[in-house]
Every structure is written in C-alpha cells, then in structure tokens.
Amino acid sequence: MYSGALMRRGPYISMITNRTMNLLIRAAMLFMVGVFLALVLNLLQVQRNVTLFPPDVLSSVFSSAWWVPPCCGTAAALIGLLYPCMDRRLGEPHKLKREWSNVMRCVAVFVGINHASAKVDFANNVQLSLTLAALSVGLWWTFDRSRSGFGLGVVIAILATLATQLLVYNGVFQYTSPDFLYIRSWLPCIFFAGVITVGNIGRQLALYEYKVNQEKTHQD
Amino acid sequence: MTVRERIRQNISAAFYRHGLLCASYPVPIILFTSASILTCCYPLLKLPLPGTGPVEFTTGVRDYSTPSHESQGDLSERPDWYRGPPVAYIQQVLVKAAVSPWDNSLVPVDVFRSPLGRVFSVLEEIRNHVYTDRSLEALCLQVTDLLPGLRRMQAVLPEHGCLLVSPGNYWQNRRDLFDADPDLLKTVHQHEPKGLHTSATLKDLLFGVPGKQTGVNLYSKKRVVTYTITIALSSYDARFVASLRARLKQLHPSANCTLREDHMVHVHFKEEIGIAELIPLVTTYIILFAYIYFSTRKIDMVKSKWGLALAAVVTVLSSLLMSVGLCTLFGLTPTLNGGEIFPYLVVVIGLENVLVLTKSVVSTPVDLEVKLRIAQGLSNESWSIMKNMATELCIILIGYFTFVPAIQEFCLFAVVGLVSDFFLQMFFFTTVLSIDIRRMELADLNRRLPAEAGMPPPKPGPLRPRETPPPPRPSPHTITLQAPAFRNLRLPKRLRVVYFLARTRLAQRIIMVGTVIWIGILVYTDPAGLRTFLAAQVSEQSPLGEAGLPPHLGVAPVFPGGDPTSTLSGLPAPEPTPLPENQSQGHRAAHPEVAPVSSPQITWGPEDEELWRRLSFRHWPSLFSYYNITLAKRYISILPVIPVTLHLSPQEAIDTRHPQDTHHAPPPIPIPGGGWTGISRETCFAGAHARMVAALGLFAGVVLVLLLFCLYRVLCPRNYGQNGVPHGRRRRGDLPCDEYGYSPPISEISPLLLRGHSMDIECLASDGMLLASCCLVGHIRVWDAQTGDCLTVIPNNGGCWEHRDGWDHISACEAESLLGADFREPGGGAVGGQDVDIFPIRRRTTPARPALFGDQPDLTPLIDTNFGLSPPSQALSSSGFDFGGLVEKAYQEHEPSPTLAFPPSPPASQQRRRSLGDQPVLPPELPPQNNGDWDSSVWAMELRGNLIATGRSSGKLELWDAVEGSLRCSNEDGVSGITALAFLNNRIVAARLNGSLDFFTVEITKPLGLLQYRGRGSLPPSPCYSSEDVISCQLTRSVQCAHQKPITVLKAAAGRVVTGSQDHTVRVYRLEDSCCLFTLQGHSGGITAIYIDQTMVLASGGQDGTICVWDVLTGSRVSHVYGHRGDVTSLVCTTSCIISSGLDDLICIWDRSTGIKLYSIQQEVGCGASLGVISESLLVTGGQGCVSFWDLNYGDLLQTVYLGQSSEGQSVRQLLVLDNAAIVCDFGSELSLVYVPSVLEKLD
C-alpha cells in the first residue's frame, strides 16, 4: 500500500524529496510555529501584569518590540533543524514515540508550563524557578529522553538567557514586568522547555523527509 | 524469575481475565460504568455553573454598613466575596416622562424631545443637592480620565469629576446643545456599533435601560420615555441618599409608585475574559483538538472509527468530570478556572492508553473469538499501561510536592482524573471496544448467514480455543482474505470513495447538518425576536430576587401575560382624564373600538424596581472599564432606584420643538389605528412567544435526537436482533467483509496435496525443483516441486518393522517415540504414568510441543502396531526394572525429552522432534545400543541436485539418486545415529548423536562438461549428477566431541557450518577444512534454533528464550535479546528483521540492527513453530491444519490457507519455502504444496 502510493509519486512528493526544498519548507513551518508561540506566550506574560485590557491591547502587543516574534521564529527554525541534524550526526535516532499526537501533547504541555508561570502565584522566585525547572525536566523526560536533546536544550537555554540579559542591559529590550528577579528565574526554564518542544517538532518534521528518502533508496 | 517478571505475569494474567470479563458481559458492565460515572458526577450539581455571570447578594438598606474585610464566620449566608467596600454604589434615578394628554397636533418627535429635555433640570437638581454640607461632589466616585483608546467616547462620557451618566451626556449636559440639535435620534444612534454586539452599548450606558424600553423612537406606541440618571457613589451616606430621594420625589411625585426601597443588591462580577485572555485559551484548545485529532486518527481497523474516537473522548471527559466530582465530594472545591486548566488535564490524562488498547486488540489474530482477542490485547499491553500510569502518577506526585497551592490542586485533580480514567478505560472503553469488534464480526457473519441458513447455529465457543474442535468449514480449501489486508490491497480507489460515502452516510449527515444550520440561521434572524428573548434571559442570570417578577419579554416589558397590575396604553382615548390612575381589568379585551388618539400614561410596576437587571450583565463592567476600573472579582452595590415621573403638557412639547422637527418627520402613525395596533401588537407578542417556545422546543428536540442517534451508533451493534447467533465465534471459513461492507470474491487457492506416504512425514528436503520426503516407515518419495507429481519412490531398505517382540526393542522404541511424542493429552496412557516414575522429567504443561528437532529417531510405526496388537498394560506388566534401565539407556543416547504420556491415537506423533534439554543429559559417551536390524530409520535427509543424502539412525550415510531411486553410495564410518545433515557444495556434514561432527566429501568421477542444470531460473547450489557418474562419499574429517552434549541444530551456509548444542554453545566451522572457527557462548540454555544465511547473518535461539545475533566473521555477539518465555523454537531473518517463534506461541519480530522488538503476534495455542519467509514482507507460519500468511511490515494476518478437510488434529510442523513462491509443508501423511504468487504480487 505504502510503496504503491509512492510509485505514483506526484509533484508534491518529489518536492518533498528535494532536499533543499524540504529544508526550506521545514524551516518555514518551524518559523511560523515559533512566531505563533512567541505571540501567544507573550500575551500570556503580558496578562500577568495588566489587570484589564484596553481594547487596543492587541495592537500594542503587536507593535511593541516587533522584532521579538521573528527572532523567536528564526530561533525555532534553527533549533528545529538542528535537532534532527544532530541526531543524524550522532547516529542515535530519536526513538521515543514519534507521532504527531505526541508532539501535540508536548506543545500543549509547553504552553501549560507558560500558563502556569503566568497565572500561578508563587511564594517566591526560588519556588518558581524550582517548579519550572522540574516541569521542564519532566517535559524532557516525557517527550525526549535523549541525552543529546537535553544537552542542546541546556546549552541553548543558557545562551538565550545570556543574550536576553545582554539585550536588557543594553536597553534594547525591556521586560514588561518591573520585577526583574521574577523574569530571571523564569526565563531559562522556559527557554529549555521551548527548545525541547521545538526540537520535537523539528524531529517530527524531519521524519517525513527521512521516510520519503528511505522509500526512495528502497526503490532504487 | 525476578520479581519484576512475576509482577508482570500477574498483571498480564489479571488483565487477561479482566478482558474476558468485559467482553463477556458488555451490557451489564456498561450499565455499571454509566451508573458509577453518574454517581461520581452527582456532587457536581452543587457546584455553580461555570460562567462569567455576576452573582448577587441582597441586603436591607436600613441596617446596612460596609462589610469589613475580615471574614465573619457567623454570617454563613454571606458569600465570601462580600467583604470590604464595593467598588461603587450605584444610585439610579429612573425617569419616566410623557407628554400628556397626547394631542393630534403633535408630531412623533414630540414623544421624546421635551421629555428628554427635562433631564437637564433633573440633573441640575441632583448636582446641586446638598444635605448638611454634603454635596454630591464629595460622595460621588471621582473618575480621572478615559482610557486612551476611547477617543470617540470623550465627547460623551464624563472625563473627570463625578461618574454621573444620563442621556444628557449626548449633548455634553448642555441644554443649549440639546435645543440646537436638529435630529436627536441621529445623535443617539451615531454612537451605536454596527452589527451584533453582546456588550453594553453607549445608548444602554447613558439611558440606563434596555434600548427598546427607552421609548426614544418615532414609532413608539406608548409615548412614554424612560431613562435613568446613573450616579456612582464612592461612599455610602444613607442620609444624603435619603434626602436626595425625598427631594426628587417631592419635586416630581410619582402618584401610583409602590416601588420597594428597602433592598440594596450587591453584584459580584467574576473575572472577565477579554479577547487578549481568550487567545491563549483558544490556542490551548486548538492544540488540544489537534492532539485529539492526531490521536484518534490512529484508531484503525475497527468497525466504527468515529464511534471509538468518541468513546475515547468520552472516556477522558467523564474521567475529568468524575475527578472534579470526587474532589468535591471530599470537600475540595475547585478554585481554579475550569476552562483554563481543562485542556492541560486532558493532555496529562491523555488518550494514549485508549489507543494503545485499541491497537493491541486489533492486532490480535482475527480468527480468535472476540473475548479472547480483547483479553489478549489487554494482557499484551498490560505492562506498558501499568508502567505508564505509575510514571505519570510519580510525575504528578512530584508536582504535588512543589507546595504551590494552584499546582497542588491541579495535581490532585490530575491524580483522581488519572485513576478514574484508568477505571473507565478498563471498564467502559474495553467494553465498547469489544462491542465494536463483535459488531465487525457480526457483520461478517451476517453476510454468510443466508447461505448457511439451514445449518444449525454453531455453539458459542468455550473459553479456551484449545479445547474446542475447530468448527466445520464450509469448504475445505478456502483462503480467507482478512479484512485489513484486503482493504489495503484490493479495493480500487473509486470504489473506496463510494463505500466511504455509503458507510459514513455522508449525504444524510450533510442534510442533517444543513437542517441544524438552517434552524440556527432562523433563530438568528428570527423576526419573532427569539434572539432578544434569549439575550434577555441571559442578561438576567440572577439567582436571587427573580421570584416575584413576571416572565420577561425583553421587547415588551409592559406586557407580561396575565399580570393584573400591568397596564396598557390601549385605553379608550376620549376619556378626558389625563392620568388614569387605576388600571382596569377589562382593558385587555381591548375592544376594537377605534381609539384615535391614546394618551400616554406613566405607570410604575414591580418590574421597574430593578430595571438594571434587564441590562446586559456586562453593563456595569464596561461602564467602569472605560475608566480603567475593573470589576473582576469585585462587587458593586446597587441602591434602590429613585422613581421620577414627569408629565409634560402638549404646549411644553410644542415649545421645545426644533424648527426641523415638524417637517422632517411626517407623522407616520396611522392615527385612527392607534389603539388597534397596540392590541394587535399584544397578540402579536403572544404569538411571538408561542413561536419562540416552539422554535426552542424544535431545537431542543433536534439536539436530543442527534444525541440519541450518536449514542445509538456508539453503543448498539447495527444488527441487534437480526440474527440468531449474537455471540457465536466467527467461524474460520467465513468470509469477512471489509469495513466498507464490501465482501471480496472468494479466491480459492487450493493447496496441492501430495499423497502417497502411509505414515506421517518425517523429513522434508527440497532444492527448489525437487522435493524429497521421508515418512516414518522410511519410504522416501521424490516429488516435482512444480507440478506435485511423484517422481520416485524409494522404499525402505531396512526390512520389516512390523513384528518385533523383544520388549527391549519395544521399550527402546517406546522411549524413542516418547522422545518426540506429542503431549496433547498428558496421562493418556498407562505407560506414560510409568514413565513418569522412571524419569525425573519436568512436566510441561504447554499442550502442544513445538517441533524443535527434525532429525529424530523414529519408531512410531512400531508403537502403532504394538498398540494395535497388544494393550499397553501388557507391555507395562512385562516391564520391570530392566525396562526402566533400557529406556534410560536409550534415553541417554537419544537425548531426553519431557515425555509424559503416549499419544493415544495414530496421528499422535505429530511432533517427533524432541524438545531439548529439559533434563540434564549425561555426556554421550555411551555407545549406542542399536541393533543392526533397526538401524535404518531415516533421521535426516538433505537434497541437493539429484542426490538425496540420508542419515540413518545406524550412523549410515546414504546417497540416493533422486530421479532413479537407486542407492549411489553409502558410508558406514560412523556408528552413532546421524541426527542432522547439511549438504553444501559437495560436502556433507553430519552431526551424530554422540556429539561428534563428521565431514564428508562427495566425489564425482565425471567430466564437468556433462553437468547439467535443471530448472528454469533458479540454480540449485550444487550441480546435478547424472546416473552414469560414479559417486563416492568419503569421510574427510571427524570431529569427535564437537560439543559436550548432543548437537541439536546444524546449519550450513556461506561456507560455514554452525552447530548448536545442548551445552549452551554454538560452534562455527569452516566447511572447506572443517576447522572450528569460533565457539560462541552467550546462551544460558541449550541451543534450539539457529539461522544462518548467505550474508553470514547468524542468529541463535536457546532454551532460555534468548536470541543472540552474532557476527560470523569476528565471532562477537552483536545483540542479545530476551525474547520468549520458553524455548525459542524457530528463527528466521530477513534483511531488516528477525522473526522468532517460541514455546509461548508468540511470534516476535525484532529489528535486526538494533534488537528492538517491533511487535509480536500471538498465535493460537498449539500452533506449530514452523516459520518461513517468502519475501521481505511476507511471513508464513504453520498452524493447526492451516498455514497463515502475515504482512511483516504491519503484522497483519493476510491469509489463512486451510490444507485439508480432515485436519483437525494435524498441525504443520515443517515448512519449506521454495524459490517459486511456493511453500511445502507436511500435513500428516500428506504433503501440501501451496502457491502464493498472488500474495507476492500484491505485497511487492
């Protein structure tokens, strides 16, 4: 059935098998995912500090620091491409439950972590940090479980936090919240969870290319 | 066995039993589950319905004091939000104004112009009211400025100072602007938003009454204008308010006003959900639906995919409800926002288990009975389900110890939800699944039923299939195409679309959806005002204070049906009294007497008391939100309204007219019909009401019908009561139809039966073109593998076997036969009992012994005859101690096996192969005790080219010409029986009973030019020999004691000879120089199966259930997996996977490179252990009288081919795959040749 479908390989399939094309498509999808998540999560964070929204809150969200969502999108694209690439290099393919439903679950948990960080009142920042860290590691354990994924996630999280801090110190970007410590305790864990999530999506997307290529070599 | 293993087994067994239970009693279990769901959800009734509607609390005005911040325990009736001062006290001044008596000279604009004009004087009065140096300025809520986004409101709403709104705000509270306004209505309406709006509009805000009630329009029949002046007070001064009330009442007395003034209502607003808050929520829900979609998409191969998906969702949802209900029951009230955490709860609980269950059950063999399928599916996945659940519980527990209250609460809900979800999965979903699968089978059965109408209904299958004789088949040689494969393989796309349409009843559903949409549109655009009715109902979400109010009609507040105190404007006009104070009862009859002019009257009824209730419940939040004051989670106190009645004379109205009023609005009211239209409107309203109710009823009915339909589709088999065999096991030969209801044409592939042997087939060998078989008596027959013709018969040269009296022989042969006997019925013979005494044999309860060892001394004919001639008890009585000793000796020679009983019937020795190593065996030093006259049973046979190599129990190696049937050469160098042979490249390797390994070379003295090749495409590995050649066979090397214990397996390929032995080792020899290359150690039990092929892949399986993959070049172990719960009985490899079968009736498919188990197939109990791989993706297994074809990629059963009619007890033990897509298997005394080209084509 499978091979039969591939025998009649349409333009779509051939487009997907084209390597650069495939890469571009994946990058574009990841970019969109990143932008979307950045917008939504930004909204969640804004919500924490503003009690009531003026009707034009949406426009303000879109206008202030307009470059943040594209940056997140680019980062998502990079990370999402990096993960399968790293898997291939290391030669240890990601084996754990590679299904879209699982990816969706992962995204939902990620949004949930953000939601919790935005909505739940914590006693202090240490508690917030610890909780978020536990949740993030739980996310990794549930959906990734690869050492490489963990390492990359930690590295990227640290780098991203540093970059954000630099930006803030240089005044390019500022937090909506006056509570600086709160943000700092919140940021690395969210970055880590985000990296894991985006990596998961990227791997799942790469699976298509892998599958198609496999079929191709099989046919050849 | 470790603890883990034991736990695992127990869990698996428990799940198995549970599955049986669920599938056996579906209806009671579903009833029980529904009852428990309802019970657990019952506490939910006490919870307030979720929503953002405001909550009210009423207190008296007289003894009112601002509630303190501390909670007061004694006042339990106080809601917990009633603490601290309110955001504001709302004082409304309700003004009703009318021009009376109405004059024909007046134009419609006069209805509201002068009444509205009076607002400024009242405002002035209020603003200037002072009570003991307290003015309004001091008490009122001071607002600073509007939100920056509301520029257009700036002109209208007060920007600073007191929050005091009235219609006068339209004209900046300036009388001169009002007087100069040529078109009041335009001014009022220019701020109204277009389209549908749910929030409060500016008109509502300023007028303070619902838009339709203001009476500010040209077509008002009542000619009474109603508006309010709304004052927001920041602090409550009872005396000031009272004095204001008294002053206004004094100035504008309301004659018949009996409004109650002793209650103030506190309204608590919940958190408002704005659009910005909605976006993340919507996102999470979208993700949730994507998750559910991707999950349910995986449900496949069931009767109703959507039904099961719905059941899965229902399972999760009701588990959530149950968790909330249970938590409430135990005193935990949910404080979290349900809508927000709900998606996360669903994600945490997950649909995985449900899907895993479905997949597992669906992947069980279709042939099994439904309950067994369910039970097997459950028990297969039991371990992973339990593991997952334990993991999730652990994670949630960790979350619980974060000690953040919100997270703790979430975790608590999640834990209860998980547990109840598990409960529902086990009871609800499993049962639904069983019903679904049964439906599928019933549908299959139904299709067959007409043809078999005359047959007695098959009795319901007992629990265990092994005890049931397989039901009769309609035809002996039927190939049943199983549904999934069929679906994948056969159906053209066009048909698939048609069947899809037919199956899903798409047209019907579209019509249904269309109807619903149409009703929706009807409701939306309903002229009867159903929408407003609904909106009014929604806006009146008030649990308190509603009792005394008549039913509301948002459009016509003055027409509450049947209320005697209500008034009508339709009184006879000529009555001179300008203010009819009392309402007459009879006015409702209203008499069509023409009332040319009706004078408006101002009446006060109880519905005016709390007019703000008719406003949108967002009225106050939106008013305050304009000043960036949120009412979320706070409350306001609404003071009793101050009624003000204004009567204006017609002259006054005329005086205030704007010059344009008269000419731009011609009187549109048909003056003579004034009264009549009023009445007709009333009836019209009554009719509208009836229509509304009817539409609502219709809508509810449609929803109910849809719901019931869904329930029916999910819960009931489509053909209940249609056939008389509701729970019968689907019979084997029955033709299944696929899920599209399409039944394939019966493709009969008759297996070719090769008859000729009188006894059971013992050995089977083939080189692709020829097929050699040897039966128990030693006859060798050679068949053409293509046509099935018998070419040669080589009779047994060993002489007569029939009459052997020496009991030593008997016992020996008994022992021998015992070795390979089938233990289908333990304790069947008396000798068996004796044997139990003699041998310390481990008793195996596995009913069917898979064949392990094909080269076994065989004396079954002897046994048969003996049993026929003399009862076994005789033999027993004559056997004393000697018997035991002899048997033991023979036993030691020929490898013991767990023999318990004699097969009672002639086809008994179905499995002559010994099962290996159940008992410690002595090293085979003892010389064989065989006598010369029974040495000639064939233990091993190989066929290469024209030559048949046979190894005999006497140790003699013979080479026969396959075509002519003549003995070409023989070698009697060895004395120990040859248990296994390998014939490769002119070399023959023979493994002997004593553990030695002999290498022979076959030499042909014939020029090679005459070598002929038979066959079309496929070349046999060794050349053929013509009859002229002189063939000699010489022992080149004999490796004594190749193994410490008997050699059990011998395989040769790719220039290597691999032997496996009881001594837990595998040895690899080079074929050319018979040099031992490696001794591979890694098993902890005797070797039972070995696979090696041309690509030097070597896999071995042992009694410990492990499978090792070795690198033949280096002798290193590549992977090592624990595969089976008993012996590994057979092993085959493809390029990508390893297929193993074991004593546990499981076929496992492993990934060859990683050693990860891909999946396993649970076979029927007692299936043979024979395996064969036809192509990369096609696996064939032998079973009870049938062979089954499996798709290796998906693990689907493709076909089952039944070999013969009378094959009940026969199982296929040997199975050879020939090159031309044919398989040969033994089948009692017959051989069966099955061609499967069609299967191959489709798979490739």
pLDDT at B642: 86
* Mean local confidence (pLDDT), B771-793: 79
Question: Do B737 and B914 contact (CB within 8 A), yes or no?
Answer: no
Q: Which residues in chain B are contacts of A95 at CB distance < 8 A?
A: 1156
pLDDT at A1: 36
pLDDT at B504: 60
Interchain proximity B147–A54, CB inside 8 Å: yes
When scoring B347, B487, B623, B1153 by the number of chain A Cβ atoms within 10 A, the one with the most, hence best to mutate, is B347
The CA-based angle B735-B432-B322, given to 5 degrees, is 170
Interchain proximity A111–B287, CB inside 8 Å: yes
Structure tokens at A94: 């990601």
Q: Which residues in chain B are contacts of A1 at CB distance < 8 A?
A: 488-489
Whether the predicted interface score ipTM is above 0.95: no
Q: Which residues in chain A are contacts of B297 at CB distance < 8 A?
A: 101
**Residue B7: which H helix or E strand, with range?**
helix B3-24
Q: Is the pLDDT of residue B987 over 90?
A: no
When scoring A32, A45, A49, A53 by the number of chain B Cβ atoms within 10 A, the one with the most, hence best to mutate, is A53
- Is the model more confident about B1190 or about B122? B122
Please write the tens of the pLDDT for every residue from B722-755.
333 333 333 333 333 333 333 333 344 667 777 7
* Mean local confidence (pLDDT), B426-430: 87
Q: Is the pLDDT of residue B891 over 60?
A: no
Q: Please, which residues bridge with residue B1175 across strands?
A: B1178
Please write the tens of the pLDDT for every residue from A2-51.
334 334 445 555 555 677 888 888 899 899 999 988 888 877 766 655 43
pLDDT at B508: 65
Handedness of CA B824, B825, B826, B831 (dihedral sign): negative
Question: Do A104 and A201 contact (CB within 8 A), yes or no?
Answer: no
Interchain proximity B280–A52, CB inside 8 Å: no
- Is the model more confident about B101 or about B455? B101
Question: Do B354 and B447 contact (CB within 8 A), yes or no?
Answer: no
User: Is the peptide bond prior to B920 cis by the omega test (within 30 degrees of 0)?
Assistant: no
Q: Is the pLDDT of residue B558 over 90?
A: no
pLDDT at B527: 42
B649 dihedral zone (left: phi>0; alpha: psi -120 to 50; beta)? beta
Could you tell me which residues come within 8 angstroms of residue A163 by beta carbon, excluding any fewer than 6 positions away?
A: none
Percent pLDDT > 70 in chain B is 61
* Mean local confidence (pLDDT), B275-300: 75
Question: Do B1140 and B1119 contact (CB within 8 A), yes or no?
Answer: no
- Is the model more confident about A113 or about A155? A155
* Mean local confidence (pLDDT), B1070-1089: 83
Q: Is B347 on the interface with A (CB under 8 A)?
A: yes
For the residues of chain A, what is the DSSP string, one character each? -HHHHHHS--HHHHHHHSHHHHHHHHHHHHHHHHHHHHHHHHHHHHHHH-SS--TTHHHHHHHTTTTHHHHHHHHHHHHHHHHHHHHHHHT----S---HHHHHHHHHHHHHHHHHHHHSPPSSHHHHHHHHHHHHHHHHHHHT--HHHHHHHHHHHHHHHHHHHHHHHTTS---SSS-HHHHHHHHHHHHHHHHHHHHHHHHHHHHHHHHHHHHHHHH-
Q: Is the pLDDT of residue B1054 over 90?
A: no
Convert A22-35 to b/e letters by CB count within 10 Å (16 or more is b). Answer: beebbbebbbebbb
- A 10 A CB-CB count for B298 gives 17
- Is the model more confident about B285 or about B687? B285
Highest-confidence segment of B109-123, B859-873, B917-931, B1203-1217: B109-123
Give the model's confidence band at B1216: pLDDT under 50 very low, under 70 low, under 90 confident, else very high: confident
- Looking at every residue in chain A, the average pLDDT score rounds to 75
Q: Is the pLDDT of residue B904 over 70?
A: no
Closest residue on chain A to B409 (Cα): A120
- Looking at every residue in chain B, the average pLDDT score rounds to 67
- Is the model more confident about B1084 or about B593? B1084
pLDDT at B165: 86
Interchain proximity A104–B488, CB inside 8 Å: no
- Is the model more confident about B193 or about B556? B193
Specify the pTM: 0.42
* Mean local confidence (pLDDT), B931-943: 65
Please write the tens of the pLDDT for every residue from B806-852.
344 444 444 444 444 444 444 433 333 344 343 443 443 334 444 44
pLDDT at A74: 92
* Mean local confidence (pLDDT), B663-671: 48
Could you give the CA distance from residue B965 to residue B948 in angstroms, rounded to a whole number?
Answer: 9
pLDDT at B749: 60
For A53, the closest of B276, B290, B295 (CB atoms) is B276
Interchain proximity B149–A120, CB inside 8 Å: no
Could you give the CA distance from residue B50 to residue B341 in angstroms, rounded to a whole number?
Answer: 13
* Mean local confidence (pLDDT), B764-789: 78
Q: Is the pLDDT of residue B582 over 50?
A: no
> Would you call B297 helix, strand, or coil by DSSP?
coil
Count of A-B CB contacts under 8 Å: 111
pLDDT at B978: 81
Could you give the CA distance from residue B120 to residue B79 in angstroms, rounded to a whole number?
Answer: 39
Structure tokens at B902: 């004699």
Please write the tens of the pLDDT for every residue from B206-225.
888 877 777 777 776 677 88
Please write the tens of the pLDDT for every residue from B316-330.
888 888 887 887 777
Could you give the CA distance from residue B1065 to residue B1067 in angstroms, rounded to a whole number?
Answer: 6
Could you give the CA distance from residue B439 to residue B1074 in angstroms, rounded to a whole number?
Answer: 61
* Mean local confidence (pLDDT), B455-467: 38
Q: Is the pLDDT of residue B469 over 50?
A: no
pLDDT at A77: 92
For chain B, positions 356-415, list CB contacts with chain A under 8 A.
395, 398-399, 402-404, 406-407
> What's the DSSP call for residue B427?
I
Q: Which residues in chain B are contacts of A122 at CB distance < 8 A?
A: 404
Nearest C-alpha neighbor of B1182 from the set B1192, B1196, B1191, B1172: B1172
Please write the tens of the pLDDT for every residue from B1119-1133.
888 878 778 888 888
For chain A, positions 150-169, list CB contacts with chain B under 8 A.
none
Could you give the CA distance from residue B731 to residue B283 in angstroms, rounded to a whole number?
Answer: 50
> Would you call B687 helix, strand, or coil by DSSP?
helix
Cα A18 to Cα A32, A209, A213: the distances in Å are 21, 9, 9
Could you tell me which residues come within 8 angstroms of residue B693 by beta carbon, excluding any fewer than 6 positions away?
A: none
pLDDT at A155: 92
Structure tokens at B74: 């004694």
Could you give the CA distance from residue B576 to residue A149 in angstroms, rounded to a whole number?
Answer: 92
Handedness of CA B1198, B1204, B1206, B1210 (dihedral sign): negative
